[in-house]
Chains A and B, each alone.
Chain A
Amino acid sequence: MPNSPFTSGVVQARLSAAELAHNFADISPKLDAHEARVAADRCYFCHDAPCVTACPTDIDIPLFIRQIATGTPDAAAKTILSQNIMGGMCARVCPTEVLCEGACVREMAEGKPVEIGRLQRFATDTLMDKGIHPFTRAKATGKKVAVVGAGPAGLSCAHRLAMLGHEVQVYEARAKAGGLNEYGIAAYKAADDFAAREVDWLLKIGGITIHYNKALGKDVTLAQLEADFDAVFLGIGLGGVNALGLAGADLKGVHNAVDFIEGLRQSAKADVAIGRDVVVIGGGMTAVDAAVQSRLLGAQNVTMVYRGPRERMSASEYEQEHATSAGVRIIYNAAPKAVHGSSHVTGVEFTFAGGDSFTIPADQVFLAIGQTLEGAPIALEGKKLKTNAGKVWAGGDCAAGGQDLTVTAVAEGRDAAMAIHAKLLG
């Protein structure tokens, strides 16, 4: 008998191939031309628009929407990409409900913002589907910059530097570029291998060489990079995960959510084993992505447990609703107390804020209690890297300032490139 959501234990293929394909299909497909026109017509072309202020990359949103409305989506894409070279991915993964769309005046007027994210995807997909890369490189400057990490921050920095005429060598610890876009985002948000396609498209600018499987501190050293290059940019992300620090955390069936999410991106869905009773500990986007995808794989019971109250949860209200509509149960105000089981996990015990304890049966547990900087090649500011130290710059999740969002990483990479450029030619 084939496996089903009711099969006990941690097993593969609880759902049919067709169900899995449906569950992991593009969650919010590209608008067609008519839909885009209707959506674009709703933009008021605000003065000093609040959506632009809310965008970490300062995309001129009213302008690109007007360009869509007037039948020039390629021009719209150029408006977007000139500020945010990963506008395609950001259109898919940005928490727009707390950024541009949250600030849209139509949110205030009618509770229904202009669909900025989907319009951005319409424009960028339209251009990228044609294979057009709208930027060209300036005259070569003769300067060389090393970028460590081919995630959103590193690639954004590399692209801008290449565009300005510098030569860029990228050192990436893993076998693929894209960083969290490739390894850390729910599969249905970046369907059809979009992360890899975006990297290929981005590299069309030229002047960027990526060296794979080259980790900082192991295969290359910062001292060597500083010696060989005119400047160095560190976009190394957060390599470590916070430990649960409880008895039983090392039982079989207890995993880091980031590893689970990565596995889903890098393997066929039917090959990923999932429990019948899954508990996700944490309250951020990673927790939501792990919980929702557990359900999509066919887990019967998925419970997400967060230690704080609903309003403190870092996953947005939209994300929380997305989780509950996928069938995830969310429990607030409950802190993990112990992980039970002999060799394999059987349940997780929690304590409510009031003091009462309860145990949720589990054959699989995902920990999503935060990521942390692993090793610090340069000085820290708080728990993260200083954004600039001598000829070394840092940006993205590993660096101080900003939220840990793709869009923030892109902005910081771009801004670091401009600072490096100013310094090198200054």
Chain B
Amino acid sequence: MANLTTDFIGIKSPNPFWLASAPPTDKAYNVERAFQAGWGGVVWKTLGSEGPPVVNVNGPRYGAIWGADRRLLGLNNIELITDRPLQVNLQEIKMVKRKWRDRAMVISLMVPCDEESWKDILHRIEDTEADGVELNFGCPHGMAERGMGSAVGQVPEYIEMVTRWVKTHSRMPCIVKLTPNIADIRKPAEAAKRGGADAVSLINTINSITSVNLDTFSPEPMIDGKGTHGGYCGPAVKPIALNMVAEIARSEATRGLPISGIGGVTTWRDAAEFMALGAGNVQVCTAVMTYGFKIVQEMISGLSDYMDSKGMTSTADLVARAVPNVTDWQYLNLNYVTKAQINQDDCIKCGRCYAACEDTSHQAIAMSEDRTFTVKDEECVACNLCVNVCPVENCITMVTLDKGAVDLRTGKKVEDYANWTTHPNNPSVAAE
């Protein structure tokens, strides 16, 4: 069995599966249950300054969207940072860490944007023996209105400044958690690195309204007839998160900066994908809020089996393996030609590929009287939409044309690699 032990910026854990800073990590009871289930580490739910704790709404905190059979696809929340007294959290963190020495214990922090506040909180958590801190520059709701959370995370200069304070006043490893509610994710990551961050974690939640109640005309989740944007997470945000992780992993300025991957991780496969794109570990929240802590058993066995099948002995063998294959559009091979092919043995004749292609794409699928669906190679641009809408996995596949073969759509032979930078239609090429 592959060794899943990870060392993330000096923080060791028996596996790369951590729980993200969120309701599941708000108190000792939950965290101990998570550790009993097998989670490798937690980022304790965000602590604020000493003083009266924040208050939460007393109506719904979560909204959701669902797929078929009410499978939860996306969750949004308007919960704030911990609403328990600071001292209680600190005592519990210390107690749990002492009891679970082999697990990672990171504390998420969010205090006002002044050096004294940060110095004070760092001093107070010193005694917990926690393994590190995560700076919550991500939450897009509530706290941002008070100049914290994503209000900091959206200004790279603030990120750099606060990170520097933290590294000045603490010896703990420091992870900066980034908000995706920004145009270019590389900028805050670069700022964190300049400030001395040991790692970044991303993504935090995305500003969202999950739905509108068509009887009361209020956004969901609804509090007394009103709603506000909350933070969106869960399987639906995974593609956004994967891209942002990859952008940081492959960017010149941030290459090599450790990343803790967050955003819709639900299965071992999701975790492996984040890691292949450069994440040293992953953090999970929505999946455990949907299914409970037990899912980590599947994640451990799945990742382990996968690594065994690939001959990988440590998670380091997997991390960033896909990064070299993330590129810009302009470098994609324009001479890579594929055609959709429908396996007639697997086809159940639903005709969804036909409707999609005929109505919305390139009219490249033929339908016979007896509902046999076939691809017209002379029309197929290989867009992949038929593959995506087919209910039967692997019934439709994309077949690559060999070099020298004729593409019936263009009438041209497949040639060697060539991209947009050298394409005759590219104005900058023509200008030369």
Contacts and interface: CB of A to CB of B under 8 A. Distances in A.
Interface in B297-353: 348-352
A45 B371 contact: no
B70 A47 contact: no
B351 A46 contact: yes
B392 interface: yes
A47 B350 contact: yes
A42 B68 CA distance: 8
Interface stretch (A101-109, A159-167, A290-298, A339-347): A101-109
Given A44-B391, A47-B354, A47-B355, A105 B69 contact: no
Contacts of B351: 46-49
Nearest to B395: A109
Interface in A16-66: 37-38, 41-42, 44-50
A226 B205 CA distance: 76
B68 A44 contact: no
B68 A109 contact: no
Contacts of B69: 38, 41
Contacts of A41: 68-70
B375 to A, nearest CB: 15
Contacts of A38: 69
A105 B68 contact: no
A48 B371 CA distance: 9
Contacts of A37: 70
Contact of B392 (A46, A49, A109): A109
B68 A45 contact: no
A49 B352 CA distance: 10
Nearest to A38: B69
Given A38-B69, A109-B391, A109-B392, A44 B352 contact: yes
Contacts of A46: 349-352
Contacts of B371: 48, 50
A105 B348 contact: yes
Query: What interface size band does chain A fall in?
Result: 10 to 19
Contacts of B391: 44, 109
Contacts of A48: 351, 367, 371
Given A44-B391, A50-B371, A105 B350 contact: yes
Contacts of A49: 351
Q: Which of B351, B352, B392 has the most CB of A within 10 A?
A: B351
A46 B355 CA distance: 8
Interface string B59-80: 0000000001110000000000
A411 to B, nearest CB: 22
Interface of B: 68-70, 348-352, 354-355, 367, 371, 391-392
15 contacts: A37-B70, A41-B70, A42-B68, A44-B391, A45-B352, A46-B349, A46-B350, A47-B351, A48-B351, A48-B367, A49-B351, A50-B349, A105-B348, A105-B349, A109-B391
